[in-house]
Every structure is written in C-alpha cells, then in structure tokens.
C-alpha cells in the first residue's frame, strides 16, 4: 500500500542556499504586508510557513521557486540538518498566525510589530545565514527538551559547520 502523498514529511537535510533564498522571499512578503497593510499577504505567509512546516518544500510555491533559483545560481548546495529548519518554520507559522489574528482583530500596530520581528530574523537568515531558531533548537537538545535522536544530522557537528572558504557561502 502506497503512503499518502499528503502525509506530513520533512527532509532530514536541506540546502542552506535554498533556505536563504526562501528567507529573502519571506522578507519581501513581510515588506509587502508592511507597505500594503493587506491581511491577504499575512494569510499567504501563514499558508507558506504551515505548508513548509508540514511538508518541507514539496507543496510550497516559495520553496519551489527557491529551489529553482538555487539550481540556476551556480552555487554548490550546502546541506544542513532539516529538523532545526523545520522548527524555524513552526516559529514562522506562529508569527504569521499571530500577525493575522492581530490584524483581523483590529490591532494592526501589533501585527506590524510581529512582522518587524519576523523580518529581522528572515533578514539574518537571508543575509548572513544565521538561523536563530536553529540555535534555539540546539539549546533545546542540550537542555534535554528535544531528544537528540529527533535530529540525526544535528549530532554531526562537521555536517553543520559553515565552510567560510567556499564560494557557496553567500
């Protein structure tokens, strides 16, 4: 019996070049909300974060676009652990949901604040490859809040170390 295509699944490793491109597109979407004030932008961001959290890049138009851009960039893939990036998607989902609820609940100033915070972290990921949620995920493993077995790639420190001498480190 074939497994359902809709069964939630996230890849164990992801290309950090793609995640940085997706973060940049997320930054553009957040800017779109900040300039337009449209709840539809927030709704789309919520959809994107949730779909990436559940399925990885499989059904996400933004992630698929990021994969296409990365594949034509000429940069070598830089594979990193997927579970910390999935945790980042969960946090993004929470921020997008919070902003949407605040906006539709008549508190657009607080929705803007949520989008500014999300924008800061998206800019850090896009610009210098710093994933704050990934750092938090590592602390959660060290504190015993997350089982190390949940992220096999996380235990291989050499696997996650950035290669600062590589042209792929944009």
Say whether 136 sits in a helix, a strand or coil. helix
Provide the percentage of residues in the chain whose pLDDT is more than 70: 88
pLDDT digits (tens, 9 = 90+) for 65-123: 999 999 999 999 999 989 999 999 999 999 999 999 999 999 999 999 999 999 999 99
Question: Residue ranges of the domains in the chain?
Answer: 13-160
User: What is the rounded average pLDDT of the residues 17-28?
Assistant: 98
- Spatial CA neighbour of 118 closest among 138, 82, 91: 91
pTM: 0.85
Question: Considering the chain, what is the average pLDDT of its residues?
Answer: 88
Query: If you write DSSP's letter for every residue of 109-127 in order, what string do you get?
Result: HHHHHHHHHHHHHHHHHHH
Predicted pLDDT at 3: 59
């Amino acid at each position: 019996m074939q497994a359902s295509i809709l069964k939630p699944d996230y890849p164990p490793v992801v290309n950090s070049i793609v995640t940085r491109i997706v973060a940049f597109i997320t930054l553009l979407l957040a800017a779109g909300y900040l300039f337009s004030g449209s709840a539809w932008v927030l709704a789309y961001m919520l959809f994107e974060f949730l779909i990436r959290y559940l399925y990885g890049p499989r059904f996400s138009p933004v992630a698929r676009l990021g994969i296409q851009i990365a594949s034509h960039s000429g940069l070598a893939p830089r594979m990193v652990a997927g579970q910390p990036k999935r945790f980042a998607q969960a946090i993004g989902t929470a921020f997008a949901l919070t902003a949407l609820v605040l906006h539709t609940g008549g508190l657009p100033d607080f929705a803007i604040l949520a989008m500014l915070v999300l924008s800061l972290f998206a800019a850090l990921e896009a610009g210098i490859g710093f994933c704050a949620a990934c750092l938090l995920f590592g602390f959660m493993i060290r504190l015993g809040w997350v089982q190390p077995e949940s992220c096999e790639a996380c235990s291989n420190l050499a696997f996650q170390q950035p290669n600062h001498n590589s042209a792929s480190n944009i």
